[in-house]
Amino acid sequence: MPDGTAIDYDGLIPNNVGLAQDLRVRKALETWHPGYIDWWKSMGPEGFQASQVFLRTAVGVGSDNWAKFDFVRMPEYRWGVLLAPQIEGRTIPFGAHKGEPAWQEVPGEYRAMLRRLLVIQGDTEPASVEQQRHLGATAPSLYDMRNLFQVNVEEGRHLWAMVYLLQKYFGRDGRDEAADLLKRRSGDVDSPRMLGAFNERTPDWLSFFMFTFFTDRDGKMQLAALAQSGFDPLSRTCRFMLTEEAHHMFVGETGVARVIQRTCEAMKAAGIDNPNDIERVRALGVIDLPTLQKKANLHFALTLDLFGNEISTNAANAFNAGLKGRYQEDRLTDDHQLLTATYKVLRPRDGGIATEDVPALSALNMRLRDDYVADTQAGINRWNRVFAQTGIDFAITLPHVAFNRRIGEFAAIETDTNGNILTQEEWIRRKDSMLPSADDNLFIASLMHLERQPGAYANWIAPPRHGIDNRPGDFEYVKIDP
């Protein structure tokens, strides 16, 4: 038995799940591997596949010293199957089976539900790589390019994580699903990815930073809920994925913070106090703050749709079954079964928006979304400190959860960013003041160009405060022409 902390790097597939002894699964994964590499080469980062990139690779699954940094060509990255260590005597933490020993095999009655959860999570991983594949060509620095590629290879590894579970525990069905995960394509008309936000374009670096701030945070919430799972291999898989996910949100949060910092500094230097003096700010070659706000509005709304319907029988069933818990389930102090509890849900009512008490079991998507909003707000507060530090009077705010939604209670209405319901005419008239307009996008696109000099940064973004793995400011994170 593997001890669960050391990783075997000898085979084709680095792992800590004893693949060397598990011939059936090893063969299935090795059969899947060439298709994955084909997918990576054709749908992964465009260009730069031969470049040497300063990447972190997991070398353990403990909480410290789990990664090492080195130059790697992306197609040679050691994608692997890594599970957090098994917890001795772990029990199912919630639902109808609460207190029973955690499952080491798939419970037959929940097989279809569990497979569906794995496929939906798995589908998001390659999708984001596809969405971001053109961004290398306009990286604002080698530091940022490296961060993009780090996120990309780790999303690739997250796909491996889900594919392992499918192939190990779901036999032929699992192998078919694993193959299909390489067939769907983000934004494809005939065969799109499964969730809306993962079919949107990520056309520029501001979108990338917003995506990693807002949408990777949805990833964090979903993984945190799955990390509570009574199906132990899923719990262990997600616990390790969360370690990697933290870096993705770091990239987004610090990326936007650096854009804010640069804009504010440029405004100060030019003697511009009014953030709405958009033309003068743009003339400085930096991104004006109202446009930044509009980008945040867009990515927040797209991400909220990922939580699904506020009232959901599927979510209730997955909780009852012990497959998907709540955020930080293990720190909550209720009965973990929600037999009598209620939860407040926001719904359109009588021309306005009202709260309504519903059975808590049916409102688990709403609850996870609320936890997400609170987590996001904490990040926004950190952005707003940058305004305070630079002395520019501005703050980023989150729009109302009803704003610009396509899924759930608010899909049928339009509101402004404060949640006031708008007629279709009002919506069309005011839309461009709340979401990025074609002009805004053109302006942002005009700023995007590759900055390939080590230590140099495009004019619209400030340098980071620290290098990756404490490297100096002029470190060459990507050797583009090796």
Residues in the interface with Fe ion (CB under 5 A) total 7
Q: Are 43 and 128 in contact (CB under 8 A)?
A: no
Our CB check for Fe ion shows the closer of 248 and 295 to be: 248
Nearest distance in Å: CB 157, Fe ion: 8
Shortest reach from residue 341's CB to Fe ion, in Å: 31
Nearer to Fe ion, 130 or 245 (CB): 245
Residue 480 has φ and ψ, to the nearest 5°, of -60, -50
- Find the shortest distance in angstroms from Cβ 195 to Fe ion: 13
Whole-number minimum distance, CB 243 to Fe ion, in Å?
Answer: 11
Q: Which is nearer to Fe ion, 125 or 144 (CB)?
A: 125
SS3 sequence of the chain: CCCCCECECCCCCCECCCHHHCHHHHHHHHHHHHHHHHHHHHHCCCCCCCCEEEEEEECECCCCCCEEEEEEEHHHCCCCECCCCCCCCCECCCCCCCCCECECCCCHHHHHHHHHHHHHHHHHHHHHHHHCCCHHHHCCCHHHHHHHHHHHHHHHHHHHHHHHHHHHHCHHHHHHHHHHHCCCCCCCCCCCCCCHHHHCCCCCHHHHHHHHHHHHHHHHHHHHHHCCCCEHHHHHHHHHHHHHHHHHHHHHHHHHHHHHHHHHHHHHHHCCCCCCCHHHHHHCCCCCHHHHHHHHHHHHHHHHHHHCCCCCHHHHHHHHCCCCCCCCHHHCCCCCCCCCCEEEEEEEECCEEEEEEEEHHHHHHHHHHHHHHHHHHHHHHHHHHHHHHHCCCCCCCCCCCCCCCCCCCCCCCEECCCCCEECHHHHHHHHHHHCCCHHHHHHHHHHCCCCCCCCCCCCCCCCCCCCHHHCCCCCCCEECCC
Instruction: CB nearer to Fe ion: give 97 or 220.
Output: 220
Subset of 123-182 contacting Fe ion (CB under 5 A): 125, 155, 158
Q: How far is the CB of 162 from Fe ion (least distance, A)?
A: 9
Q: Looking at beta carbons only, is 155 or 288 nearer to Fe ion?
A: 155
Query: Residue 213 Cβ, how far from Fe ion at the closest point, in Å?
Result: 11
Shortest Å distance, C-beta 408 to Fe ion: 23
Specify the residue, 123 or 329, whose C-beta has the smaller distance to Fe ion: 123
From 3-11, 118-126, 331-339, 390-398, span contacting Fe ion (CB under 5 A)? 118-126
In the complex, the smallest distance separating the C-beta of residue 245 from Fe ion, rounded to whole angstroms, is 5
Pick 216 or 416: Cβ nearer Fe ion = 216
Among the listed ranges 8-16, 122-130, 183-191, 354-362, the one in contact with Fe ion (CB under 5 A) is: 122-130
Q: Which is nearer to Fe ion, 244 or 451 (CB)?
A: 244
The reply to whether 248 sits near Fe ion by the rule CB under 5 A is yes
Interface region with Fe ion, contact rule CB under 5 A, candidates 46-54, 109-117, 244-252, 319-327: 244-252
| Residue 326 is a binding residue for Fe ion (CB under 5 A) | no
Using rule CB under 5 A, residue 236 touches Fe ion: no
Q: CB of 445: closest distance to Fe ion in angstroms?
A: 24
Q: Which CB atom, from 15 or from 237, has the smaller least distance to Fe ion? A: 237
Binding mask 198-217 for Fe ion (x = CB under 5 A): ------------------x-
State the residues that interact with Fe ion by CB under 5 A.
125, 155, 158, 216, 219, 245, 248
